[in-house]
Amino acid sequence: MATTVELTSQVEERLLERNEIYEQFFSREAARLAEACREMSERFLRGGRLLAFGRGPYATDAQHVSVEFVHPVIVGKRALPALDLSILFRPWLEAILHPEDIVMGFGPPEGDPEVWATLQLAHLQDAMTFALPGMEGSYALGAPTQDPFMHQEMVEILYHTLWETVHVFFEHRELGHEVGESGFLYPFLGTEKQGTTDLLAEVATSILMKVHDDARLRGQVARIEAEQISNTALAIHQRLQRGGKLIIFGNGGSATDANDWAIDCVLPPLGFKPVPAVSLALEPANITAVANDIGTEAIFLRQLIAQARPEDVAIAISTSGGSRNIIMALEEARKRNLLSVALLGYDGGEIKRKRLADFPVVVQCDYIPRIQEIQASIYHVIRESLEVLDRGQA
């Protein structure tokens, strides 16, 4: 079985390995992404919608895209129409597609023929298409890695940058060619009037800066949190050996990460053993029933009371570390002697200060998309570590 030192070294190595792959990819693709973003903005302004879908873990990317565009994390930004059609994507698309729409299909590094066929249908009706990955589309991604976890993380960075930069083109069009109060999002963009060609170049530069920030944060986590991540994986593995399961939860984009982590456990990459896990964020009927009848603060607490057993692991994903419904669930987990894990942003928030998690892992950043991107790397590395530990037991 791997020692703590060996596992920590592997965790650090796996986190840092991602940076070179991602930076090389976005260095090649930044200009194309800027152009794609401009076309997206034009379609949104014509009344188009973003329609996203995928299967298995890639359905969670469609969920994430939908929530990011509909419920922007920046106060004052417009809500953009987006839908996750994953549950029945081809019939749904056939029923509602308009020519001005944007259609985004997600899949594994090798692609998904069913997703490709549906994207082709959308293309024939003049929709803009994103094949993530694929060979054909308005924007087609050739996967630079066959690692399914790295591929998915890179795609998350990609759609985050699309969401962040599409607003530049809205403001260029509608606010006198000024970036205005959004300047902090786009470090190279000033308030001068610019031609479209200049704007595309500046947006491409801004995308690269976001990716560099991402790499810096991942490197920081590798240096500071690698031992905590490996200890987290070891503690989770011990609970699994006792017959426990993972109970994962989060809000918004973190809900989609909870869903992805749970699916990565029960439908793992080829060669991995399944791990028992559930996501409380994947229960819309329960969530809306509890929110309506009791209140939003109890949406995870109520489910945890019903689902938890003493040998289980409660895993919270929160960018702020201060969401009341997350805190209440962790408090209940402590009462029930569950092992508790929290992936956090900022300084760890109230969860870290009140020591509500046995194993807090903090991404020290105050910008939500970057936090989420690094958190995805962390939970994927934990999932890999569980496999390493399991094989060591064989």
273: buried, middle or exposed (CB in 10 Å: 19+, 13-18, 0-12)? exposed
Distance CA 75, CA 250 (A): 20
Q: Which of 136, 72, 73, 71 is nearest to 103 (CA)?
A: 136
Measured CA to CA, the distance from residue 158 to residue 26 in angstroms comes to 8
Closest C-alpha among 343, 161, 326, 357 to residue 260: 343
How many C-beta neighbours within 10 Å does residue 185 have? 18
Cis peptide before 133 (omega within 30 of 0): yes
* DSSP string for 85-116: -GGGHHHHHHHH--TT-EEEEE--TT--HHHH
394 residues of the chain, pLDDT tens digit each: 567 899 999 999 999 999 999 999 999 999 999 999 999 999 999 999 999 999 999 999 999 999 999 998 765 678 999 999 999 999 999 999 999 999 999 999 999 999 999 999 999 999 999 999 999 999 999 999 999 999 999 999 999 999 989 988 887 775 544 444 444 444 444 444 445 668 999 999 999 999 999 999 999 999 999 999 999 999 999 999 999 999 999 999 999 999 999 999 999 998 999 999 999 999 999 999 999 999 999 999 999 999 999 999 999 999 999 999 999 999 999 999 999 999 999 999 999 999 999 999 999 999 999 999 999 999 999 999 999 999 886 4
50: part of which helix (H) or strand (E)? strand 50-53
* CATH 3.40.50.10490 intervals, the chain: 4-213, 220-393
| pLDDT at residue number 198 | 84
- CATH fold of 4-213, please? Rossmann fold (3.40.50)
**Neighbouring-strand partners of residue 248:** 279, 315
CATH entry 3.40.50.10490 includes domain 220-393: yes
